[in-house]
Amino acid sequence: MAERVIFHVDANSAFLSWTAAYRVKILGDSEDLRDIPSVVAGDKASRHSIILAKSVPAKRFGVRTGEPLFQALEKCPNLKVVQPDYHLYVQASRQFVSLLREFSPEVEQYSIDEAWVDMTGTRRLFGAPRAAAELLRQRVWEELGFTVNVGVSSNKLLAKMAGDFEKPNRVHTLFPEEMAEKFWPLGVRELFSIGPATEQKLLRIGIRTIGDLAAADLGLLRRYLGKQGETLWHFANGRGAENLTPVQPENKGYGNSVTTPRDVTDRQEAHRVLLSLCETVGMRLRKDGKNGRCMTVHLRTGEFVHFSHQAQMPSATNGTEELYRAACQVFDEAWDTVTPLRQLGVQVTRLSEEPYQQFDLFSGVSPAQQAKRLRLNETVDALRDRFGEDIIRRAKFTADPAGHMAGGLSRDRRTGVTKPVPPEF
């Protein structure tokens, strides 16, 4: 039986790399964002502007992923800021995964920019594991225009740990026989799934390295951390060999949220935000042929306190009007009318593919009217998909045309200002 070989492939600073590659390869820009201090972040005027990705030159100024944009600009006043473009990222991710499948059909996508690849039994096709990883890394660069780290091992856990070693654009191995040299000397915080709180608990009982954790008494860890302690002990000993799951589970819910430019203190303003969110969520539901029965509204106050409320809808639906009506009802039940809100979100769950909606005698809407609304929604979706979101908007947004569809994509991409992503990015 062939020795098991697993790759973990991770795009380096994906959002910035994909933006840079698109601008250089497709738009023909002479300036490469990866060669200058640059970041991907939200609008400078927005309160939710945080660093989503950074270039290596930006990192040299101390810019960190996740920090507020204003802090990054204090460190590097000449920092070039580009807004995120999630449509571009989805396209780049699909092409990334498609290339991985040329090496093996067994690909499990872990996130938008990283995946595991089961390379067991491919030695005759691509050579030894490290040589195959180098070939994969080179092909991603030559064909897609961005760099990746490839971790190579005999299971998913160790492959991911290897992929997180020195970056960018590297291949690293971490087979069981290499653990004593490469793995166990690392600080315990470096172990997959350990956060700051767990790190502090482990430090309090003298566990400072992954090797300390691997050699610790399992009974002590169970008493101190419960089942998590046993799981971490297995991880520290390099055991995380579950099989890849190439088929991703279906989406269990569709949601979207937005941090508002200023605190929302007015019910009508809140309803407008909810409508803008239902527009984008409804489009996604209809595109995937899904309907939902449960509406949840998520709220975050000006003091960063989060709370939510939900209710069942009369029938499964993907109609923007029905979603909006349900969201407003849930919101009105949840909000005290005085607490300022800085973030609102909607989520639709209990999904189905029912091709019909239950007719409600008390709604005042006939089946013919429901069918007409569905056709209207689908027509609006098609127009926005072809000509950009601003081709049509509701009258409620006359005073704020820019906010009629909240969350998600770069407005430039959505409105068709820039060129569409071609089939071969």
Angle between helices 227-236 and 218-225 (to 10 degrees): 140
Q: Which helix (H) or strand (E) holds 258?
A: strand 253-264
Contact 110/245 with Cβ under 8 angstroms?
no
Place of tokens 């935000």: 273
Task: Calculate the alpha carbon distances from 172 to 53, 187, 192 in Å.
Answer: 23, 18, 16
Of 346, 338, 343, the residue nearest 265 (C-alpha): 338
Pairing between strand 80-82 and 38-41?
A: parallel
H helical segments located in 226-316: 227-236, 267-287
Pairing between strand 148-153 and 6-11?
A: antiparallel
Q: Which residues are catalytic?
A: 114
> What residues contact residue 242 under an 8 Å CB cut-off, 6+ apart?
155, 156
The one-letter code for the residue type at 357 is: Q
Rounded CA gap, 7 and 154, in Å? 8
**Residue 336 in 3-state DSSP?**
coil
**Residue 79 in 3-state DSSP?**
coil
